[in-house]
């Protein structure tokens, strides 16, 4: 039930790495002037963790990163969107990790990105009180597939090379 100290430290370090990546990405100028579209580079760490750690450890990493990311970004609305997207994405990728081999991690990441977009749009429907925001979903899904493929390939490369933490 409890994590040993080494695992807890590893998860804390991975969370810190993902959080720094998230915060740096927030400061980068957007390449596409469409709200909500970004690379999601912190997900490289999440995808890595999904294939290297137990589910409960990855859940801890993602939840802590989402909460701290919302606090450090200064935008608590980010929390709603990130939680919905992150939980849906995480559930999908955890469900598939036994079926998708390490040489095809990018597929899991693409699915995770699409699920993340669906979670975000679901929150947008609730927040705005209108379903018209669903019209935005195709743009998010296309960008999510591209970004998910990129982050998935990065995670796949990292997993093949060396562990992030020794």
Structural domain includes residue 105: yes
Structural domain includes residue 108: yes
82 contacts: CB under 8 Å, gap ≥ 6: 66, 69, 70
* Residue 119 domain boundaries: 5-161
> Is residue 160 scored above 90 in pLDDT?
no
Structural domain includes residue 132: yes
| Higher per-residue pLDDT: 42 or 76 | 42
Structural domain includes residue 156: yes
Enter the pTM of the model.
0.89
Structural domain includes residue 81: yes
Structural domain includes residue 166: no
> Rounded mean pLDDT of the chain?
91
Give Cα 95 distance to the centre of its chain. 15
CATH code for the domain of 79: 1.10.1760.20
Q: Which of 23-37, 98-112, 134-148 has the lowest mean pLDDT?
A: 23-37
pLDDT tens for 55-66 read: 999 999 999 999
* Cβ pair 151, 40 in contact under 8 A: yes
**Which pLDDT does position 133 carry in this prediction?**
93
pLDDT band of 67, cuts 50, 70, 90: very high
**Which pLDDT does position 76 carry in this prediction?**
82
pLDDT band of 138, cuts 50, 70, 90: very high
Compute the distance between CA of residue 160 and CA of residue 47 in angstroms, rounded to an integer: 13
**Which pLDDT does position 162 carry in this prediction?**
67
* HEC assignment per residue over 75-128: CCHHHHHHHHHHHHHHHHHHHHCCCCCHHHHHHHHHHHHHHHHHHHHHHHHHHH
76-104 exposure pattern, b = at least 16 Cβ within 10 A, e = fewer: eebbbbbbbbbbbbbebbbeebeebeeee
**Which pLDDT does position 128 carry in this prediction?**
94
Structural domain includes residue 35: yes
Work out how many domains the chain is built from and give that number.
Answer: 1
């Amino acid at each position: 039930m409890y994590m040993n100290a080494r695992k807890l430290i590893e998860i804390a370090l991975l969370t810190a790495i993902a959080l720094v990546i998230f915060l740096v990405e927030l400061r980068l100028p957007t390449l596409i002037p469409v709200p909500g579209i970004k690379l999601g580079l912190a997900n490289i760490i999440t995808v890595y963790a999904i294939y290297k750690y137990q589910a409960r450890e990855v859940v801890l990493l993602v939840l802590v990163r989402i909460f701290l990311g919302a606090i450090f970004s200064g935008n608590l609305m980010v929390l709603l969107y990130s939680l919905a997207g992150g939980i849906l994405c995480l559930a999908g990728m955890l469900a598939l990790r036994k079926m998708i081999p390490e040489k095809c991690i990018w597929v899991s990441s693409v699915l995770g990105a699409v699920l993340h977009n669906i979670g975000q749009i679901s929150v947008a429907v609730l927040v705005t009180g209108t379903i018209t925001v669903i019209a935005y979903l195709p743009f998010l899904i296309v960008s999510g597939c591209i970004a998910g493929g990129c982050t998935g390939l990065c995670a796949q490369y990292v997993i093949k090379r060396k562990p992030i933490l020794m």
